[in-house]
């Protein structure tokens, strides 16, 4: 008997693949949407610091036999509050605060990990992602937290954008700049935490930054930029999963490679900002 396979539907026959697709759609949407604020605000390094600072929380939760989400969330929120507090000190620049917290927290995670003699490599999944192992509970948690992030970011869109473009003007308008900064850091931390299982601690920053940076090459308007970034994040997750399934490659890494490919295409061929397009027009 001859069996005809369909490369688009074959992966969907497996429960773990259906859960993986659901996870990358949620992560792509939330990270892509929130990443617009990160790119406009210029805090890519803060996102990187928070992503690495949750590592000791993951290690502690692992060693205690607890859910890693709680440990990661606690350290992510602590880092967000720490960044918000330290950056208010004029004598400590934002990049210096990032360096201090990033290095200190990651070093703590390494020290804690080295104290565990029976380490078998399970924590590597949280460094590089293990999207094929997501559970239904992981997806529901990501949907709940991610939905809250998107809702808050939409409701406070004007205030967050005002702080991103002109902090002094925002202060003159009476906006609570410190609390808005803290809110953005907190949302970034929670977006990173819900993305850990899908793309891992190391690759999560790419899902926050690259779709938004790509969207910024395609449009100058904020709302279309948010929508485009979210769509690119979801598309990268879906395409990356398909490629990894058929080629037997690492899913998290492939997702990031796909979204990086989107950026390179936009950098070259964007209608107004593309390098090749501008060169052809100039020629």
Q: What is the DSSP letter of 176?
A: -
Q: Residue 242: name the closest of 230, 256, 254, 259 by CA.
A: 254
Tokens of 13: 């026959």
Tokens of 76: 């992510």
Record the pTM. 0.84
Helix axes 94-114, 68-86, angle to 10 degrees: 150
User: 203 falls in which pLDDT band (50, 70, 90)?
Assistant: confident
Q: Residue 18: name the closest of 131, 127, 129 by CA.
A: 131
Does the structure show a pLDDT above 80 at 9? no
User: 1 falls in which pLDDT band (50, 70, 90)?
Assistant: very low
State the Cα angle at 176 between 172 and 177, rounded to 5°. 80
Residues 6+ apart with CB under 8 A from 197: 23, 125, 126, 129, 130, 131, 133, 134, 138
Q: Which domains does the chain have, with CATH numbers?
A: 10-276 (1.10.3470.10)
pLDDT tens for each residue of 243-276: 998 898 888 889 999 999 999 999 998 888 788 8
pLDDT (mean) for 67-88: 77
* Residue 156 CB neighbour total at 10 angstroms: 17
Does the structure show a pLDDT above 70 at 144? yes
Helix axes 44-53, 177-218, angle to 10 degrees: 110
How crowded is the C-beta side of 45, counted as CA atoms within 13 Å?
13
Q: Which residue is associated with the tokens 């090749």? A: 276
pLDDT (mean) for 158-182: 85
Write down the mean pLDDT value for the chain. 82
């Amino acid at each position: 008997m001859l069996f005809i396979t369909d490369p688009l539907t074959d992966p969907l026959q497996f429960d773990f693949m259906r859960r993986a697709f659901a996870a990358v759609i949620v992560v792509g949407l939330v990270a892509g949407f929130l990443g617009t604020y990160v790119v406009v605000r210029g805090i890519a390094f803060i996102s990187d610091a928070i992503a690495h600072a949750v590592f000791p929380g993951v290690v502690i939760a692992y060693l205690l036999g607890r859910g890693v989400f709680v440990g990661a969330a606690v350290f992510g929120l602590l880092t967000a509050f720490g960044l918000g507090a330290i950056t208010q000190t004029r004598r400590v620049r934002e990049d210096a605060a990032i360096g201090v917290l990033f290095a200190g927290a990651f070093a703590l995670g390494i020290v804690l990990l080295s104290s565990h003699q029976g380490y078998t490599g399970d924590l590597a999944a949280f460094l590089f992602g293990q999207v094929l192992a997501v559970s239904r509970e992981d997806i529901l948690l990501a949907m709940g937290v991610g939905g809250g992030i998107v809702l808050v970011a939409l409701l406070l869109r004007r205030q967050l954008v005002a702080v991103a473009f002109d902090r002094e003007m925002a202060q003159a308008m009476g906006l609570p700049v410190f609390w808005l900064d803290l809110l953005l850091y907190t949302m970034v931390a929670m977006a990173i935490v819900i993305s850990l299982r899908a793309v891992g601690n190391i690759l999560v920053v790419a899902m926050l930054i690259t779709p938004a940076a790509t969207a910024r090459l395609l449009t100058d308007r904020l709302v279309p930029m948010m929508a485009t970034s979210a769509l690119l994040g979801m598309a990268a997750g879906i395409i990356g999963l398909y490629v990894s399934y058929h080629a037997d490659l690492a899913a998290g890494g492939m997702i990031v490679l796909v979204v990086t490919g989107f950026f390179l295409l936009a950098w070259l061929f964007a209608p107004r900002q593309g390098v090749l397009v501008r060169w052809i027009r100039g020629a």
